[in-house]
Structure 1
């Protein structure tokens, strides 16, 4: 059994790789938009009820 590993990992299908990349990018876009809008209130720099 020299040089032969018993576990074989199959390559990822392109559809799953593209879908994962797209969902990850949309998640980070959503987080950055929310941070831009709600960031100061979250960090305590501005109160949400002050307009």
Structure 2
């Protein structure tokens, strides 16, 4: 019984690994873009109605 583990994890297919990296990177780029545009409002340094 030594070395025989009941759970076998299959390797990740390259398509899924690349698409996960692409979607993760696009999420962070969008978050940084919105932080650049609305960061001061979110932190309370500027009011959204002040132009």
Alignment correspondent of 2:44 = 44
Say whether residues 1:4 and 2:4 are aligned partners: yes
Distance 1:10 1:39 in 2: 41
Provide structure 2 residue ranges, at least 5 long, that are not aligned to the other structure.
Answer: none
Name structure 1 gaps, 5 residues minimum.
none
- RMSD of the alignment, in Å? 0.6
Matched residue SS, 2:8:
coil
Runs of 4+ in 1 over 2 A off after TM superposition: none
Equivalent pairs counted in the alignment come to 51
